[in-house]
Amino acid sequence: MKRRTFTVATAAVAVLGLSATTALSQELNIVSWGGSYQDAQSKAIFQPVAEKMGITVKEDSYGGISDVRLQVQAGAVTIDIFDTGSGGGARGGAEGILEPLDYTMIDVSNFVPGTYQDHCVGTITFSTVFAYNTETYSDPANAPKTWADFWDVEKFPGTRSMRSKFWGSLEPALMADGVPMDQVYKVLDSEEGIERAINKIRELKPHIAVWWKSGAQHAQMMKDGEVDMTTGWNGRFDVAIKDGAKAAYSYDGATLDYDCFGIPKGAPNKDLAMKFLAEASKASYQANMPQYITYGPTNRDAYDLGVIDPETATRLPSHPDNAANQLVIDNAWYAKWEQHASQLYQDMLTE
């Protein structure tokens, strides 16, 4: 059973310079995003790897790379391994707050190209899509299918929701504004292009009922019928649909990205954490994830083990038929423009 005895409160105590419990040598503290995603990780990866290695893994949810940064800067690190988006891994590596990973131990020889970094190794692929309420838009032939439809409040009246952070939000805005998918990052590679995307989101702002902050939140909104359309992550929507949400989505024009595991600089059990990542990166564990949530493996060998049934495979983001219709997230663009774009996005939200 999953153990959640390591808490953000513990981390906060450490950051404040107060005493924090030192992890045992055969015990790892792992943090991730909570909700159905972490439940899947716990069942498919965290606890099976712990059992294989004969160690104890304690889990908790956290607030993102900023929590890691605070602990490292305070010199009071209690996290051993964390899950973050590819951009968080890139930022953390550039800032020097993450340990370099030992790829003589971690085998990435058959990973999906581009799904691992010096300081963060990919664990799943996911897609940012938009889901719509199938009761609000009940005719499948005339349901919203494109980002232009998501923005078209006359043809598709109803409430919308978008992410409170700019990550993954500007690309759909430009596609809705008529920019071809293969030209999106070329247009975004300028202040004018970023402002164009922000302005497109500003047009839709009066119809945004909620600016979501977590995957659990946007999935629950669709399950509750709180909004008619929302951006979000495919796996979260699949869980909500399985639980009864009247919702659907498409991969057309979606953005393809990945989450990865990193180790904070100064992690109390760095060596054990490295061994854990070497084991967790094996195809056998990644092949288990789609049994619980429909995110695709980064280790392509996972498709060859006979664990992922063919019907499920066709619904995964990294399946060739789905990947062909998506825009792959460009982390180089985010490294260059994140600070500028994030500030403009937040200014737009608060104006």
> What tens digit of pLDDT does each residue of 32-58 get?
999 889 999 999 999 999 999 999 999
pLDDT for position 15: 41
Question: Does residue 169 share a domain with residue 63?
Answer: no
Percentage of the chain beyond pLDDT 90 is 83
Spell out the alpha helix ranges (H) of 58-189: 65-74, 86-95, 147-151, 170-176, 184-188
Half-sphere exposure of 155 (CA within 13 A, CB side): 11
Question: Does residue 299 share a domain with residue 248?
Answer: no
| Structure-block tokens of residue 82 | 């964390």
Question: Does residue 334 share a domain with residue 292?
Answer: no
Question: What residue has token string 């003589």?
Answer: 104
Question: Does residue 317 share a domain with residue 168?
Answer: no
10 Å Cβ neighbour count for 96?
9
Question: Does residue 194 share a domain with residue 83?
Answer: no
pLDDT of 187-201, one tens digit each?
A: 999 999 999 999 999
- The Cα–Cα gap between 317 and 324 comes to 10
Mean pLDDT, to the nearest integer, of 100-128? 94
- Is the residue at 242 inside a domain? yes
Please name every residue paired with 299 in a beta bridge, in sequence order, or none if there are none.
111
Question: What is the pTM (predicted TM-score) of this model?
Answer: 0.76
Question: Does residue 186 share a domain with residue 212?
Answer: yes
Domain that holds residue 216: 128-256+328-350
Question: Does residue 87 share a domain with residue 236?
Answer: no
pLDDT of 174-191, one tens digit each?
A: 999 999 999 999 999 999
Residue type, 20: A
Question: Does residue 243 share a domain with residue 133?
Answer: yes
Name the burial class of residue 116, with classes exposed (0-12), middle (13-18) and buried (19+) by CB atoms within 10 angstroms of its CB. buried
- CATH number for the domain spanning 142: value is 3.40.190.10
pLDDT of 154-172, one tens digit each?
A: 999 999 999 999 999 999 9
